Structure 1
């Protein structure tokens, strides 16, 4: 049976329109590319694991669809984490910082700090905040030189979490080689009694941990005890038990010298006084490690917290503050983490004039 000419023409027109819309739609998830790489680094007091061979930092580069952006975020995880913090193997559409940023047009490189993940595992004693900062400085150089994914990034924004934020603060204030700084899971007056109790009850040598025994750790590498992460890093009511389980399954180790020097020189003294570029500081409202009465920090209001933190920066006008409501310490892994990622993108656009590339929303 033949269709009337008008109906046939209308169907043909609809087909053309549908095809053109489909071609115009960004295939975000399918087009995101993530690749792993190893980069040679050095550090003060870090002899090579093999004579004549450098230490290596392992990392994952995630790029959006289309042309590669000219800016990359260098992501530095916290203590007892590795780069899986930024790309958790559970519901990545909701919890992966890297894949969400790529979907929205931003490139990221998540590095495993020395001693964690796929990076080299040197002796823990010399693995201080300065060694960690120097290794990240060298990674910045690799990113700018095009040695990661063949993309020479013109701008680098360095992003830290917790202990990683202390490393980031020292890196940015020492080398002045980045265009912006994001510090998450940190304030300048931690809740010392909570930290002390958490360390005493929640940490143990990685050597004694069956999950991490394969790492060949020395006695000054520590990790969390089974089940400790929920109370230390998460807030009830804003966390998914399956996420906490994935967090436990991907946990890692941290060097005691690293934690100690980060706490003293990266947070308390503070290194942030030497940062000369815009800073975005992010904390969870219910972070028991860095907020509340014992930390002398009011994390219920971003304006109040900004006023408390501003004296620790040489130019307070460059400080922006964001509080993720209801969240605990590990802000990227809470149920409402999308709001924190959105706030980060707004800061990148508004304060650093870094627009998304390789992604365009419809409408």
Structure 2
């Protein structure tokens, strides 16, 4: 049967259009799979939000593309733990993800991640703030590690888990890794052992229930968030930050438990929990981090070698410690304009110190 010329032309044009649209689609759309899930956790002294039901940690796993057989799904996952007044959006900010999303960039390079909302933030359970000590937060992350290894996230049993923290989340990570010894690598970002954190907190925080943006959550009085406009000075460095990123972070801001932040500072940082970590550690700071660097923190963050010498005494085995300083960046290293350099350095450390190589990664072009 002959197909009419007009129909043939239309089919051809449609095929060309489909090809052009497919070619114009971001590679990320085909290369990355991100979903949402809730995982049950107990945590010491945490009552269930509903009688008889467990507390839950909400998270987003992001996986790279596979060949279709499933045999090249990564066997290693990075468990990402955000800092105070952030939630998991820190790792996947809804603004220019091709430049600022840690999760999507890692997936595009063949690495799996799971970004968790800490208890009290995001879409995780929000228990009384008094219960959210660093121990409770660490135990919840320990249970998430167990879920990742058991195949409860997407049916993938991850053989290796690398736990990655930021700021207050790094203190939680340090306590988790030193208490349970259940991870294969530890990344601590936005943290040193002599913080000026208390100064920043006093100047930049307020009760979440008084915040016009977060007050609707009905939080108890010991959940705090940043004051409007405070994030730029606390978390970012001028000259290496995009005002639109700061605005997106402000729009996505969250709350933090004051008891949790206080016990992180004491038991996670100052004492310190890092003495008990036996896995390889990658410590990352921004050169111009006003909360953890400078004269008041007695930390020189201008040079990775100098900073490593200052931080090494806080680890039982300093040979396990690798240090990286992101030039020109402030506290929130993942959200600065040159954050790609920090992500590249992280991947190099994963390959060299933890033995994690890309999987499910297929370059395009």
1:5 equivalent in structure 2: none
Equivalence map 1:183-262=2 (5 Å): 183-191=188-196, 195-262=197-264
Cα shift readout 1:112-144 (whole Å, capped 9, x = no counterpart): 000000000000001000000000000000000
1:304 equivalent in structure 2: 306
Contact kept in structure 2, 1:207 and 1:216, CA below 8 Å:
yes
Structure 1 position 214, deviation (Å) = 2.4
2:184 equivalent in structure 1: 179
Structure 1 position 274, deviation (Å) = 0.3
Equivalent residue pairs, number = 338
Determine if the alignment matches structure 1 residue 48 to structure 2 residue 48: yes
The separation in 2 between residues aligned to 1:68 and 1:216, in whole angstroms, is 41
Cα shift readout 1:210-264 (whole Å, capped 9, x = no counterpart): 1112222000000001000000000000000000000000000000000000000
Contact kept in structure 1, 2:129 and 2:223, CA below 8 Å:
yes
1:4 equivalent in structure 2: none
Judged with a 3 Å threshold, the aligned counterparts in structure 2 of structure 1 residues 362 and 253 are, in CA distance, closer, same or farther, namely closer
Contact kept in structure 1, 2:65 and 2:362, CA below 8 Å:
no
2:171 to 142, 146, 166: 166
Contact kept in structure 1, 2:28 and 2:104, CA below 8 Å:
no
Contact kept in structure 2, 1:28 and 1:359, CA below 8 Å:
no
Structure 2: runs of 5 or more not aligned: 1-18, 67-71
Equivalence map 1:1-363=2 (5 Å): 27-66=27-66, 67-191=72-196, 195-361=197-363
Cα shift readout 1:68-106 (whole Å, capped 9, x = no counterpart): 200000000000000000000000000000000000000
Calculate the TM-score normalised by the size of structure 1. 0.91
Cα shift readout 1:307-359 (whole Å, capped 9, x = no counterpart): 10000000000000000000000000000000000000000001111000011
The separation in 1 between residues aligned to 2:55 and 2:192, in whole angstroms, is 31
C-alpha RMSD of matched pairs (Å) = 1.6
Structure 1 position 199, deviation (Å) = 1.9
Contact kept in structure 2, 1:233 and 1:330, CA below 8 Å:
yes
Structure 1: runs of 5 or more not aligned: 1-18
1:9 equivalent in structure 2: none
Q: Secondary structure at the match of 2:302?
A: coil
Q: Secondary structure at the match of 1:261?
A: helix
Structure 1 position 200, deviation (Å) = 2.3
Contact kept in structure 1, 2:237 and 2:329, CA below 8 Å:
yes
Contact kept in structure 1, 2:42 and 2:55, CA below 8 Å:
yes
Calculate the TM-score normalised by the size of structure 2. 0.90
Q: Secondary structure at the match of 1:45?
A: coil
The separation in 1 between residues aligned to 2:82 and 2:252, in whole angstroms, is 12
The separation in 2 between residues aligned to 1:106 and 1:31, in whole angstroms, is 12
